[in-house]
Amino acid sequence: MTERNPFQARRDFLRASGALGLATMLPAAVRAAITDTRSATTNKVGAASNTATPSLAPLAPQPFHRLPAGAIQPAGWLHRQLEIQASGLGGHLDETWADVGPDSGWLGGSGESWERGPYFLDGLLPLAWQLDSAPLKAKAQKFIDWTLDHPWPNGMFGPRSNDDWWPRMVMLKVLTQYHELTGDARVMPLMTNYFVYQLGALPARPLRDWGRSRWQDELLSVVWLYNRTADPRLLQLAALLHKQGFDWQGMFADFPFKQKVDVAKLKAEGGGDDVFMEDLGQRVHGVNIAMALKSSPVWSQLSGHASDRDAVHHQLSMLDTYHGLPNGMFSADEHLAGRNPSQGTELCTVVETMFSLEVALAITGDPALADRLETIAYNALPGTFTDDMWAHQYDQEPNQVECSLHRRPWTTNGPESNLFGLEPHFGCCTANFHQGWPKLTQSLWMATEDGGMAAMVYAPCSVQTVVQGAPLRIEQSTDYPFRSRVEIVLHPARAVAFALKLRIPGWATGSTLSVNGHAQPTEKAGRFVTLQREWRPGDTIALSFASAPITVSGFNDSVSVRDGALVFALPIAESWIKWRPRGLTADWQVYPASRWNMGLPENPSFHRAEHPVGPIPFSRKQPPVTLTVQGRPVASWKTEEGAADPVPKRPQADAADAPVMLTLMPYAAPKLRITAFPLLAPGSNDHPKDDHLV
């Protein structure tokens, strides 16, 4: 039997679907890129742009647009945090982990050829350019060049050992960032050829498993390319991805998963032992759900329906109600696990939730999503790494009293899951964690639909863009979230009028705003304040937020403590034991060396103390801010298999134990911690005060 020419098969499909006729309506340059990639691949020279790309019709307009990768650079403590990542696993993973080493399939080798190379690049690439690091750029470039220079004859790309749609969805996100950073002329022809191939192949080889669950991640890249080429076939592909992809909005509309997942029941209902690959297992898988949070907002760009755009809020509400944790995340270890703060959350779930919120924030314009993003970024993200970022956990727990090889009450994961190490339990997080800090940096500022700028998330940074035709540099200085003051200095190339939007966090009990020392009206918490004026070089904005420590109710009437964007936790003294060496790093167990089972009274009184923000921003040794509060030991609260028992509901403190003064730190500083405290029964704190400090 003669093998059919893949190019002829593709042309037959396009002719049948009418897409080939549509192609004749495209600009000549785009048609040339589709039909001849060979000439394009010889030209690596391009021009990067710092200007946001608006949505093209028929895509729905959106209130904000993310700036291109490279437009925002970290400063201050955020720059130091990215340097820590680059000096740790983030910059050296390929030197100590074979899965992204020289034999990677994404370098043409025979090694790992699925998702780990693309995952690694998804964070390494923006990290390299944000730090302007030649060595890191060179590492990323090797993967990029191999991918762009070795397309398949039929339009597919990537390692020849598999044709799975899913890992290519990740690499497409990498390529969009790379094009924004460099303008490399090879990127869009390769993406176009791939999408044309996929449009022809999907009817016979539809999305399945991970690709079916994560279709919205490819839709991002399809929309990205459409906004630059206006190729109508991309809209056809978008509709096909939506049709074949899992209906996350429909699942959450009548959310059925209101308890911790019973894996045995999953296996029985799913029809097999591999709960990950069965459809039911995919639906309750934490990383899938994290990625799916952006599915409805991204699809709303094509549907134009407000119900699609706003569905993310209902999805978050369901997760909070049935699986919410004090650090802004939902439990998923590996599947949904209820509200007990001794359950864990996978690191991949953390960084993918962050990215989904960053995307949804631009499309919906809802500042509440930025509040959530800050909570996760400034608590859950750094809370799962060692200070030097040479080791990480697979699962983190808000009430984490031991990191050991005990069995623990995970839904699915094994005993290594909350160790700190190179690849505890499974290597997906080892490859994927890199995107957390760099993509947050990319989302600090956004362009507005009317041609202005908006401060979305607060951290020290600088922005280089173009507004109303005028080059503009913005310098943002702040120690936020450890402090509440933000200073913004604008440097337009000439005087230029535009609207500047500043987010007022939802937790702010008040705010003050001034321009060049003159007070300005501000807005209520949870809104944007808009400054419409002609901006001149050197104009300075000062913005401050007021807050106070509060307790937030949770599982079993427990309370967690917040002040601004930070969640606070009780540090437990830590005994670190090296379990085994892992090349340049090692795997560690951590055991408690102090009492942890403490409760708080009704209406506790907090004292806040501020300290310098040190070289390690989220440091236990030098925390930038602490809270002190009086608590009482709860002797009945114990552990099993290295995990704290569920928080007892309204326990009575032991009369023999005197009250103690507890010193709380930002959640991410201690690696052993109590974040959700039992609320003591009335009268439990009626005991002479003791000055002992914990």
User: What's the CA angle centered on 133, arms 129 and 134, to 5 degrees?
Assistant: 110
Topology of domain 445-478+485-546 in CATH is Immunoglobulin-like (2.60.40)
277 or 63, which is more confident: 63
At 285 the pLDDT is 96
* Among the listed residues 548, 516, 689, 519, the one whose alpha carbon sits nearest the alpha carbon of residue 627: 548
At 49 the pLDDT is 78
* DSSP string for 229-289: H--THHHHHHHHHHHHS--HHHHHHT----S---HHHHHHHHTSS-TTTSHHHHHTBHHHH
Q: How many residues does the chain have?
A: 694
Crossing angle, helix 116-130 and helix 76-87, to 10 degrees?
A: 140
User: What residue type is 372 in one-letter code?
Assistant: R
State percent of the chain over pLDDT 70.
Answer: 91
Per-residue tokens: 547 = 């807050």
Tens digits of residue pLDDT in 420-474? 999 999 999 999 999 999 999 999 999 999 999 999 999 999 999 999 999 999 9
Per-residue tokens: 270 = 């799913």
* Among the listed residues 398, 360, 365, the one whose alpha carbon sits nearest the alpha carbon of residue 569: 398
> Exposure of 469 by Cβ count < 10 A (0-12 exposed, 13-18 middle, 19+ buried)?
exposed
Tens digits of residue pLDDT in 602-648? 999 999 999 999 999 999 999 999 999 999 999 999 999 999 999 99
Tens digits of residue pLDDT in 531-579? 999 999 999 999 999 999 999 999 999 999 999 999 999 999 999 999 9
Question: Is the separation of the CB atoms in 155 and 13 below 8 Å?
Answer: no
Buried b (16+ CB within 10 A) or exposed e, 168-190: bbbbbbbbbbbbbbbebbbbbbb
Which phi and psi (to 5°) does residue 528 adopt? -100, 135
> Helical H runs in 480-583?
none
Which phi and psi (to 5°) does residue 471 adopt? -60, 140
In this structure, the strands spanning 461-467 and 453-455 are unpaired
Is pTM beyond 0.85 here? yes
Any idea where the domains of the chain sit in the sequence?
A: 1-45+72-245, 445-478+485-546, 551-674
